[in-house]
Amino acid sequence: MSFESDESEDDLTLPGISEGEIIVIRSARRKRNISAYRQGGRIIVSIPARMSKADEHAIVPEMIAKIRSQESSRIPSEERLMERTGELMASLAPEITARPASINWRPMRERWGSCTSVDRTIRISDRLKLAPDYALDYVLFHEAIHLQHFDHGEAFTEVLARFEGAELASAYLDGYEAAERALAEPVELKKLRTNKG
């Protein structure tokens, strides 16, 4: 006997969770185990099909909290970003003596990072919080070079080329963006839904 999720039941809104961020899958194959993992920017929680809505609303927030706790322990602090940038600059570009005054995580969807040379601030996209070290290092190094070389000219390119994992980091960043585009809702469908409302 298999059970399917009853779409007509009223779902409670879980606190601190934005729509579309959490996906709950009811599985007829699951008898007692519950699993949670992140995929494509969303947290997927898989529960037994027979689980009551009351139990679901009690357990899902716990699973989300576990995932977020695991992630936060792996996210470098802004202090660590400063330290790492100093290490990268000292080893790869010691002739650039300017150092960032601050580095902050920011919600950025169009860029991986940005640098304001006037006040020496660097902002890093929060999409990199769980990225491999080589990808984050590449973006940190890229932005720190802008403290001296304001454009992407020949001098900038020569310094950036010193980063040994540049090709791998670029491939990761390009792949991430391609996956985001593939998971994004088509613009035409968004317009259609907006016009109906």
User: CATH number, domain at 173?
Assistant: 3.30.2010.10
Contacts of 139 (CB under 8 A, 6+ apart): 112, 113, 124, 125, 128, 169, 173
Give CA–CA dist 37/153, Å, rounded. Answer: 42
Per-residue pLDDT band for 186 (boundaries 50, 70, 90) equals low
Give the torsion through C-alpha atoms of 48, 6, 191, 185, to 10 deg.
10
Pair (56, 104) in one structural domain? no
Pair (89, 153) in one structural domain? yes
DSSP annotation string for 123-139: EEEGGGTTS-HHHHHHH
Per DSSP, helices labelled H in 53-147 are 53-74, 78-92, 133-145
Phi, psi of 80 (to 5 degrees): -65, -35
- Name which residue leads in pLDDT, 32 or 80: 80
What local confidence, expressed as pLDDT, does residue 5 receive?
36
Contacts of 30 (CB under 8 A, 6+ apart): 46, 47, 48, 49
- Which of 18-22, 138-142, 145-149 is predicted with the least confidence, judged by mean pLDDT? 18-22
Tell whether 190 is covered by a domain: no
Kindly state the tokens that stand for 76: 């470098």
CA neighbor of 123 nearest in space, from 113, 132, 131: 113
Pair (129, 112) in one structural domain? yes
Q: State pLDDT tens for residues 81-133.
A: 999 999 999 999 999 999 999 999 999 888 999 999 899 999 999 999 989 99
Contacts of 192 (CB under 8 A, 6+ apart): none
Specify the number of domains making up the chain: 2
pTM of the full predicted structure?
A: 0.65
CA neighbor of 88 nearest in space, from 191, 178, 160, 158: 160
- Name which residue leads in pLDDT, 95 or 16: 95
Pair (63, 95) in one structural domain? no
Dmax (CA) of the chain: 70
What local confidence, expressed as pLDDT, does residue 193 receive?
53
What local confidence, expressed as pLDDT, does residue 79 receive?
93
Per-residue pLDDT band for 192 (boundaries 50, 70, 90) equals low
Pair (99, 140) in one structural domain? yes
53: containing domain: 22-73
Contacts of 40 (CB under 8 A, 6+ apart): 179, 180, 183
Pair (33, 64) in one structural domain? yes
